[in-house]
Amino acid sequence: MELHDIFLWVALSFSVVGLLAHEFAGSPLVIPPLAQTDLPHTVQSLLAFLWHVGSVAVLAMIAMFACAATLDGQMPMAVIASAMSLGFALVALTMALRGHKGLWKTPAPYVWTVIAVAGFAGVLTSGELL
Protein backbone atom coordinates (compact mmCIF):
# COMPACT_ATOMS: atom_id res chain seq x y z
CA MET A 1 0.00 0.00 0.00
CA GLU A 2 1.40 3.38 -1.02
CA LEU A 3 1.49 6.49 1.17
CA HIS A 4 -1.34 8.20 -0.67
CA ASP A 5 -3.55 5.15 -0.16
CA ILE A 6 -2.87 5.25 3.58
CA PHE A 7 -3.93 8.92 3.73
CA LEU A 8 -7.09 8.16 1.74
CA TRP A 9 -8.00 5.23 4.00
CA VAL A 10 -7.45 7.45 7.05
CA ALA A 11 -9.79 10.06 5.54
CA LEU A 12 -12.33 7.36 4.69
CA SER A 13 -12.11 5.81 8.17
CA PHE A 14 -12.55 9.14 9.94
CA SER A 15 -15.49 9.87 7.63
CA VAL A 16 -17.14 6.62 8.74
CA VAL A 17 -16.52 7.52 12.38
CA GLY A 18 -17.91 11.01 11.72
CA LEU A 19 -21.02 9.57 10.09
CA LEU A 20 -21.66 7.12 12.92
CA ALA A 21 -21.09 9.78 15.58
CA HIS A 22 -23.33 12.23 13.73
CA GLU A 23 -26.22 9.81 13.38
CA PHE A 24 -26.01 7.68 16.53
CA ALA A 25 -24.56 10.08 19.09
CA GLY A 26 -25.55 13.45 17.64
CA SER A 27 -29.12 12.78 16.53
CA PRO A 28 -30.40 11.96 20.04
CA LEU A 29 -28.78 15.16 21.32
CA VAL A 30 -30.33 17.34 18.62
CA ILE A 31 -33.61 15.95 17.30
CA PRO A 32 -35.58 15.38 20.56
CA PRO A 33 -34.70 18.80 22.04
CA LEU A 34 -35.57 20.40 18.71
CA ALA A 35 -39.03 18.85 18.92
CA GLN A 36 -39.50 20.44 22.35
CA THR A 37 -38.96 23.99 21.09
CA ASP A 38 -41.65 26.51 20.27
CA LEU A 39 -40.47 26.66 16.67
CA PRO A 40 -43.17 26.01 14.08
CA HIS A 41 -43.48 22.34 13.13
CA THR A 42 -42.37 23.09 9.57
CA VAL A 43 -39.15 24.68 10.88
CA GLN A 44 -38.52 21.74 13.24
CA SER A 45 -39.05 19.31 10.37
CA LEU A 46 -36.75 21.22 8.05
CA LEU A 47 -33.99 21.38 10.67
CA ALA A 48 -34.32 17.64 11.39
CA PHE A 49 -34.21 16.96 7.65
CA LEU A 50 -31.08 19.10 7.28
CA TRP A 51 -29.41 17.21 10.13
CA HIS A 52 -29.83 13.98 8.20
CA VAL A 53 -28.81 15.60 4.90
CA GLY A 54 -25.42 16.11 6.58
CA SER A 55 -25.19 12.35 7.00
CA VAL A 56 -26.05 11.81 3.34
CA ALA A 57 -23.25 14.23 2.38
CA VAL A 58 -20.80 12.26 4.51
CA LEU A 59 -21.98 9.02 2.85
CA ALA A 60 -21.10 10.63 -0.49
CA MET A 61 -17.65 11.56 0.88
CA ILE A 62 -17.11 7.96 2.02
CA ALA A 63 -18.00 6.70 -1.47
CA MET A 64 -15.65 9.21 -3.10
CA PHE A 65 -12.73 8.35 -0.82
CA ALA A 66 -13.41 4.64 -1.47
CA CYS A 67 -13.33 5.21 -5.24
CA ALA A 68 -10.10 7.18 -5.01
CA ALA A 69 -8.46 4.58 -2.75
CA THR A 70 -9.46 1.53 -4.78
CA LEU A 71 -9.88 2.55 -8.43
CA ASP A 72 -7.25 3.91 -10.80
CA GLY A 73 -7.74 7.43 -12.07
CA GLN A 74 -10.31 8.44 -9.47
CA MET A 75 -8.21 10.95 -7.51
CA PRO A 76 -10.57 13.82 -8.47
CA MET A 77 -13.11 12.09 -6.21
CA ALA A 78 -10.73 12.54 -3.27
CA VAL A 79 -10.33 16.21 -4.18
CA ILE A 80 -14.10 16.71 -4.02
CA ALA A 81 -14.51 14.74 -0.78
CA SER A 82 -11.60 16.60 0.82
CA ALA A 83 -13.05 19.93 -0.27
CA MET A 84 -16.40 18.98 1.26
CA SER A 85 -14.69 18.13 4.53
CA LEU A 86 -12.70 21.36 4.42
CA GLY A 87 -15.98 23.22 3.99
CA PHE A 88 -17.48 21.43 6.99
CA ALA A 89 -14.34 22.22 9.02
CA LEU A 90 -14.39 25.89 8.06
CA VAL A 91 -18.06 26.24 8.98
CA ALA A 92 -17.50 24.55 12.36
CA LEU A 93 -14.33 26.53 13.13
CA THR A 94 -15.85 29.84 12.05
CA MET A 95 -18.98 29.29 14.09
CA ALA A 96 -16.98 28.19 17.14
CA LEU A 97 -14.71 31.23 16.89
CA ARG A 98 -17.64 33.63 16.37
CA GLY A 99 -19.57 32.83 19.51
CA HIS A 100 -20.91 29.30 19.25
CA LYS A 101 -18.42 28.10 21.90
CA GLY A 102 -20.33 24.84 22.44
CA LEU A 103 -19.00 23.58 19.13
CA TRP A 104 -15.52 23.21 20.70
CA LYS A 105 -17.01 20.43 22.87
CA THR A 106 -18.20 18.50 19.81
CA PRO A 107 -16.14 16.56 17.24
CA ALA A 108 -17.15 18.97 14.46
CA PRO A 109 -14.16 21.35 14.41
CA TYR A 110 -11.71 18.49 14.77
CA VAL A 111 -12.89 15.47 12.78
CA TRP A 112 -13.65 17.41 9.57
CA THR A 113 -10.26 19.11 9.77
CA VAL A 114 -8.48 15.75 10.13
CA ILE A 115 -10.42 14.32 7.19
CA ALA A 116 -9.61 17.32 4.97
CA VAL A 117 -5.91 17.21 5.86
CA ALA A 118 -5.67 13.44 5.33
CA GLY A 119 -7.66 13.61 2.08
CA PHE A 120 -5.58 16.41 0.60
CA ALA A 121 -2.40 14.68 1.79
CA GLY A 122 -3.53 11.60 -0.14
CA VAL A 123 -4.15 13.69 -3.24
CA LEU A 124 -0.82 15.50 -3.02
CA THR A 125 1.24 12.38 -2.36
CA SER A 126 -0.43 10.49 -5.21
CA GLY A 127 1.19 12.67 -7.84
CA GLU A 128 -1.89 12.09 -10.04
CA LEU A 129 -3.02 15.67 -10.27
CA LEU A 130 0.31 17.47 -10.36
Spell out the per-residue pLDDT of the chain, length 130, in tens. 899 999 999 999 999 999 999 999 999 999 999 999 999 999 999 999 999 999 999 999 999 999 999 999 999 999 999 999 999 999 999 999 999 999 999 989 999 999 999 999 999 999 887 6
The reported pLDDT for the residue numbered 128 is 87
* pTM listed for this prediction: 0.91
In contact, 69 and 45? CB cutoff 8 Å = no
Helix axes 3-20, 75-97, angle to 10 degrees: 50
The reported pLDDT for the residue numbered 20 is 95
The reported pLDDT for the residue numbered 130 is 65
